[in-house]
Structures are given as structure tokens and as C-alpha cells.
Copies of this chain bind each other. A is one copy, B any other.
Amino acid sequence: MNASKSTVKSAAKRSGMSRTTTTRFAFTGNRSASNKTPREINRNLVFNLIRTRQPVSRADLARLSGLQRSTVSLIVEILIRERWIFEGSTGRLPRGRRPTFLHLNDQRAVVALDIHTSQTTVAVVDLGGKIVAQNIVVLPDDPRKAVTTIVREVKKVLAKNDRSFDGIGISVPGRPEPNPGHPVFTPRLKWSVVDLQTRLLRATGLRVKMENVANGCVLSEVWFGDSDGVHDLVVVNVSEGIGAGIFVNGRILRGKEGMAGEFGHIQIESEGPSCACGGTGCWESFASNRAGLRYYQEMSGKMAPSFEALLRLALSGDAVAVAAIEKMSQYLGRGLRMVGAALAPTEIVVVGEITNGWYLFGPTIEAEMKHNSLPGSPRLRPSVEASTARLRSAVALVMNEGSL
């Protein structure tokens, strides 16, 4: 009704005035915030700081977070009551009153499963990412027996380790999108991950979370990596196939039905070997471990028993093995350039067996990646201890509510 009141006379002159209203609008999602919201946010913040900086005092937390000491104290009290952390000693000593140091409660742990096509690692990982126990199991061929074996091993490890278990985190090849109704894409497994999930839940009563290998490594990197301000990161997993985990804007990019990051099935040549996905010329048929094995066979006429064996050959000086992996590395680099152009992450981390020969093939991969690349080309580095990363991801999987 009083719209006439808001008539503006001279637009150009008024423009200066309208700038006094500094507030603008952003998309903050479509969930409303209550007066409990700040506590939720700050609780997360404080917990993550304790996780990454432990041992740490309340005063330190206040300085790191920007919150008042009193607020930090209240939040810490809750975290202690809920057994996420506890008070302990040892740490940097300041001049004045001795601080009480806070530690992550490493009595809390998760069961971690790192599933490969043939073997599976069952482990216990504590809240701080330490691998407390570890057990490699070779699975039987029969799908039913495979699942039963895993369940048995999990129960064994639960009984043996006297901890408070929060859940089970599983790393699988493929895309086990957890939303109901959505299909599960795990072409390399002979048995059903959904089946495993329900049977584990029934057998243990624990929450079970599954995740793609590459996404898992991303979570590990983000939770346990020493880099603080990780905002962009792509993990490329090179094994039998190639898949990527994409971390941008503080979250994993999942995409429809969890299929984001399937760079391995992007066609990089119109002609090429046919791929399991039905297409031809997919990146992974040029740059995966299986491609390396194929090149070796083509070059030498002989067949290497496994990629690990081929890599050992190359590292011990076999020229043909080197040439085969070199060719694979070139294609790897070319594909990584594609990843860089698509996403422009600050960093690409390569996970897979080839990282064991990084000093030999890393330069080739990187050179090919940087060749003719656009500005903003990412840093490239091999993952340190991929197995650890995959197991550690279980902690993040089970604990993580939001950015899962």
C-alpha cells in the first residue's frame, strides 16, 4: 500500500545510499535455523579442531575457533559427557596456569572393511585414525560364502578388541549409493553389497556405511590430512579400473545416483579396446593396471601374473616392463589433464599400485598432465599408504553425518 513511499528520485545519486545496506543474500539451503543451530555448528567446529590438533587446551580452542573461552568450555563439557573426548595431560606448557589438555577418546573405534575383488582387509580403527588391528582375508569364490566369511571375520574382530564400537565402515570398488531405491553400481564384485550391509547390521547391530574407494580416500585425506584449508581435492584411484572422488566446496560431489567421478569411462579416443561399460576407447582401458598388463603382453608376448608383479619387474630394471608402464603413465597423465580441466582442483592425489613406482613413472605422468594444460593446473602427488587411507575412511564414514 505504501509503495509510493519507496519511490526513488535520482537513481544514480541514490545508488551510493543503497550500498549502505551491506547485507546481501545467499543460498543457504532450504532448511530453517533454530536458536540451537549455532551450538550445532560450533560443536562440530570444536570437535574437528580437537580431532586435528589434539592434545589441545580449551584456551587454544578458543583462539583457534574465535569463540569465547566460556562457550568453548560449555561445548567441551558436552563432548566429555558424551565420551567423544577426555581430559589428560602432556602438551605444550605456557607461562601461567597449567592448561588441561583434551584428547580424542581412542577407546571409541570402528570396524573398517577394505574390500577388493579377491581379498578383503578387516581392521579396527580408532577415532584418531590409528589402525589398532588388521587382518587380511582371502574370500572364497562362492558369493554366499564370501559374505558369510566377511561377517564371521567382523564378529571375530569385535570380540577380540575391547573397545566401544560406533559402526562399520566399508570401502568398495564401485558406487554403492546408499539411498533406497537407487541402483548399486559395483560391476567388479560377484556378490551383493546390499546383502552384506543387511547381514552385518543384523549380526552386529552396528550402523553400516559403505563408500566408493576414491571417495573414501578423499574422506581420509580431509579428516586426517595435515592440510588445514583443504577445499578442493580430487582423488584418482587407479587399479583394475579408474574412478575419482571429488571434494569441492567442503563436500564430496556425489551426483545423481552417486555416479559423479566416473572419469574412467570417458571416451578419450574414438577407436580403442571395448570396455566393460559397453563403450570403446574409455580412459581406463588405456590407463588402468589392466591396460599396463595388456601393453606388456603386446610388447613382450609374455603375460605378467599381476600388475604388482609387472611393477616389480619394471623396478628391477626390465626394459619392456618399464616401457609398458611408461605407456600406461602417458595415458594416465593425459586423463589427469582432463580431470584438471573439468574440475580445476588445487590438488590431485593418485591412489593405486602405481604409486609404489612413483619415482620412476611420476615424472612422466606429471609431464603429460601439465603438457598444454590450462592456467590453474593442479598439484599432483601420490597417496601415501593407500591401504591406510582406505581403512581410515571408515572412521569418517561412520562419524560423518553431513558431508557423507
Contacts and interface: CB of A to CB of B under 8 A. Distances in A.
Interface residues of A, number: 118
Interface in A99-131: 103, 105, 107-109
A378 interface: yes
Interface in A13-46: 14-16, 18-19, 21, 23-35, 37-38, 40-45
Nearest to A66: B32
B28 A341 contact: no
B256 A249 contact: no
A253 interface: yes
A234 to B, nearest CB: 10
Interface stretch (A293-301, A349-357, A385-393, A395-403): A395-403
A93 interface: no
A157 to B, nearest CB: 10
Given A1-B88, A165-B11, A341-B265, A25 B400 contact: yes
Interface in A359-404: 372, 374-376, 378, 398-404
A16 B19 CA distance: 56
A263 interface: yes
Number of copies: 2
Contacts of A398: 24
A151 to B, nearest CB: 13
A187 to B, nearest CB: 10
A259 B375 contact: yes
A87 interface: yes
A217 to B, nearest CB: 16
A140 interface: no
A86 interface: yes
B266 A342 contact: yes
Given A25-B44, A67-B32, A183-B375, A18 B165 contact: yes
Given A9-B162, A86-B6, A374 B32 contact: no
Contacts of A178: none
A71 B141 CA distance: 61
A48 interface: yes
Interface in A247-304: 248-251, 253-263, 265-270, 277-279
A163 interface: yes
A82 B21 contact: yes
Given A6-B86, A204-B12, A374-B265, A257 B32 contact: no
A342 B245 CA distance: 10
Contact of A86 (B3, B222, B249, B279): B3
A316 interface: no
A128 to B, nearest CB: 14
A14 to B, nearest CB: 5
A65 interface: yes
Interface of A: 1-3, 6-12, 14-16, 18-19, 21, 23-35, 37-38, 40-45, 47-48, 65-67, 82-83, 86-89, 103, 105, 107-109, 155, 158-159, 161-166, 183, 185, 204-207, 222, 228-229, 232, 248-251, 253-263, 265-270, 277-279, 334, 337-339, 341-346, 372, 374-376, 378, 398-404
